[in-house]
Amino acid sequence: MKKIRTIGVLTSGGDAPGMNAAIRAVVRAGVYNDMRVMGIRRGYNGLISGDMDDMTLRSVSDIIHRGGTVLQTVRSPEFETAEGLRKAMEISKVFGLDAVVAIGGDGTYRGARDICRLGLPMMVLPGTIDNDIGSTEFTIGYDTALNTVQDAIDKIRDTAYSLERCSVVQVMGRDAGYIAINVGIAGGAEVVLVPERRHDLMKDVIKPLLEARNRGKKHYIVVVAEGAGKAMEIADEIEKRTGIETRATILGHLQRGGSPTARDRVLASIMGMRAVELLRDGSINRAVCVQQGKIVDIDLCEAVDMKKSIEDNLFEISRILAQ
């Protein structure tokens, strides 16, 4: 196989804290290994339009602590078409790209799989706050989002306590409940609703709240993953059916911003470095992931098809400890 000398790096899909740390690692590890590194702007759209430039050691100075992504990002419908992929292949040849490191979520993985099948060597790193990538136990950005949401719930708890209210907090996660169940445990929520488990309003929300009241509780936190319901509607129902004064908070995009935690920076740095070393050693079309606590790499196509689920015992832990 041809030696990899020029690599591109891009971020795609929703931004996630730690993406900058991953870009920095790819650039610096690339330069260290005598590669030319090109920063591709605005995700796969940049690969289609040739929106890319050389990156140097200094172009990634002072970004490790910044949220978002300096390369910017998009979700690219064009890259899902045969024509978009064809244009991207042409551009990658024109710019002399031997491989591309793509950092993002499941859409990014599918895009990488599709273009690697046309012959552009790819490497993917998991970057999403949702933690919903089947091949990896942890994604870059998830830990920061957990901590951001946790901080918000702690603040909401202060006011819920003072006014003896119930607060319903809607958190991100798209179709996944990893953020919800984990902040539910960390924040002592009485009720956690996730998309992976269907819920019945009376049995799974109203009854546990009334039971908590009967055990002497005077304020309550309900965490609802965005894929499991709407905080406003649930809050209305709770107030109507229990008489407990209830407020709703939708945390929204503040969950995606902010300086990455140390854990996310380290994960991104190790993964970025690993991606470059794999390419240097001739491995292509791999997904870098965390499995059983270790950083490993697996076949990209296999990674795209992998599923994971929330461990059942987390729901039991959450329920028992919220008593």
Q: 230-259 mask for ligand F6P (x: CB under 6 A)?
A: --------------------------x---
174: contact with ligand F6P by CB under 6 A: yes
Q: Are 258 and 144 in contact (CB under 8 A)?
A: yes
Q: From start to end of 251-303, where are the E strands?
A: 286-291, 294-299
Whichever of 105 and 121 has its CB closer to ligand F6P, that residue is: 105
Sequence-separated (6 or more) residues with CB below 8 Å from residue 178:
130, 131, 132, 142, 310
Q: SS3 of 298, please?
A: strand
129: contact with ligand F6P by CB under 6 A: yes
The DSSP bridge pattern shows strands 166-171 and 220-225 to be parallel
131: contact with ligand F6P by CB under 6 A: no
Rounded-to-10 torsion of CA 321, 200, 219, 159: 110
Q: Least distance (Å) from ligand F6P to the CB of residue 176? A: 8
Piece of the chain touching ligand F6P by CB under 6 A; list 48-56, 83-91, 161-169, 172-180: 172-180
Piece of the chain touching ligand F6P by CB under 6 A; list 63-71, 171-179, 194-202, 265-273: 171-179
Whichever of 17 and 46 has its CB closer to ligand F6P, that residue is: 17
Catalytic sites, residue numbers: 130
Piece of the chain touching ligand F6P by CB under 6 A; list 125-133, 198-206, 212-220, 272-280: 125-133
130: contact with ligand F6P by CB under 6 A: yes
143: contact with ligand F6P by CB under 6 A: no
105: contact with ligand F6P by CB under 6 A: yes
Euclidean distance between CA atoms 213 and 182, whole angstroms: 23
Euclidean distance between CA atoms 189 and 225, whole angstroms: 13
110: contact with ligand F6P by CB under 6 A: no
- Which tokens belong to 198? 């269907």
Euclidean distance between CA atoms 63 and 93, whole angstroms: 29
Q: Which residues bind ligand F6P (CB under 6 A)?
A: 14, 105, 128-130, 172-174, 226, 256
